[in-house]
Structure 1
């Protein structure tokens, strides 16, 4: 727990319910131990989408489709989501959930390895939601930047690993050390990439919010040279 548990409980108590179907799918995920975004992260995501009003959204990590359906509720009428999932057992459940919600025409699910799929896609996307294998974020990053529109937003979820991110790698369980080191590298690269402006927020299990700059340092240098 990154934030005081009593504070999180209080914030949860203020939330208003979604549609009955989305609430039902959320409960089904919890009952079957499928990881989904936490309540406070859901709230943050909804506000972002209403502010940004993205038309093209890419989600990396569909699971059973809960996040895609939630995002769909807060997109403009012409908004469309492309979502990627490779876990075969969850794909039919996600497709069925999209059908239950009547959103098949607004959500395209692509099956396969996320990195391979991302390499095959053409941008730009206005908003990318990263919620897949945490140890792979660093590998997805170049493609995410390529696919993102100028002023586009990249939201990466679960980046603080329940607070373990600040620990020495030797204080982390051996089986989690690779993910730990890769996530630390990912956060460093997000903060130091000259194409992005990034804020790391201790919300839920940690959110990194990045905006693709309209002009890089190199662009500014070229502009000054022209003047």
Structure 2
């Protein structure tokens, strides 16, 4: 499960250590879960991103959240525990191993009534969903982000926020394609296409945040 990009910080190491280890910690069962997934090397959002989410979600108080890429369910559980009890979360994943682990974790936290896990490829599932979602978190196949973007914007509420994770690829996304390993060419090309699409769309407002491996925050004008 190891993701090499998680271990290639894009900011000064001292600042990273401060953000990751000195900020307010989680508590209780969620803290225990966070420690478990990090010890196992599961590629979930790092603590600096967790803290950003908790503040942002408290401000937004979204009623409907869509997540693309469930993994073991850590981020969905964190979002559920950071929002009102009335908030519903829909999350999508296509890997059986992750689906089984996530479902077990949703039961562990008694959140099966608030979190719905849709099994399959997001390419097939997104067209079946109905607007609107107040918050959409995209954390799946990086090469497909630009493919998912149009439908996610259709599903996003008027004042909703789309947050896209792991956009820097350890900083390599800014390097010439000739320096990128061949197996990562698709990710490199499509992340840069994503930037061009979002930054040049006059109907969108966006911001890039150097948290974790980079977050792209998008909302509609």
TM range (shorter): over 0.9
2:74 aligned with 1:60, yes or no? Answer: no
2:138 aligned with 1:130, yes or no? Answer: yes
Structure 1 CA distance for aligned equivalents of residues 202 and 158 of structure 2: 13
Relative to structure 2, which stretch is displaced further, 178-187 or 188-197?
Answer: 188-197
Relative to structure 2, which stretch is displaced further, 151-160 or 28-37?
Answer: 28-37
Q: Which of 26, 49, 55 is the equivalent residue of 2:34?
A: 26
User: How does 1:1-227 map onto structure 2 within 5 Å?
Assistant: 1-213=9-221
Q: What is the DSSP-based 3-state SS (H/G/I as helix, E as strand, rest coil) of the residue aligned with 2:96?
A: coil
Structure 1 CA distance for aligned equivalents of residues 149 and 73 of structure 2: 22
Partner deviation per Cα, 1:120-140 (whole Å, 9 max, x = no partner) = 000100000011111110110
Tell me the CA shift for residue 151 of structure 1.
Answer: 1.1
Q: Is the 8 A contact 2:72 2:98 kept in 1?
A: yes
Structure 2 CA distance for aligned equivalents of residues 32 and 204 of structure 1: 18
Q: What is the DSSP-based 3-state SS (H/G/I as helix, E as strand, rest coil) of the residue aligned with 1:33?
A: coil
Structure 2 CA distance for aligned equivalents of residues 50 and 192 of structure 1: 30
Partner deviation per Cα, 1:76-109 (whole Å, 9 max, x = no partner) = 2211100001011111110110000011111111
Tell me the CA shift for residue 74 of structure 1.
Answer: 1.2
- RMSD (Å), alpha carbons: 1.2
Structure 1 CA distance for aligned equivalents of residues 21 and 99 of structure 2: 32
Q: What is the DSSP-based 3-state SS (H/G/I as helix, E as strand, rest coil) of the residue aligned with 1:8?
A: helix
Relative to structure 2, which stretch is displaced further, 13-22 or 3-12?
Answer: 13-22
Partner deviation per Cα, 1:1-27 (whole Å, 9 max, x = no partner) = 211011111222322332432223223
Structure 2 CA distance for aligned equivalents of residues 196 and 56 of structure 1: 21
Structure 2 CA distance for aligned equivalents of residues 166 and 12 of structure 1: 24
Q: Is the 8 A contact 2:62 2:87 kept in 1?
A: yes
Q: What is the DSSP-based 3-state SS (H/G/I as helix, E as strand, rest coil) of the residue aligned with 1:36?
A: coil
TM-score by length of 1: 0.90
Task: Count matched residues.
Answer: 213
**Unaligned runs of at least 5 residues, structure 1:** 214-227
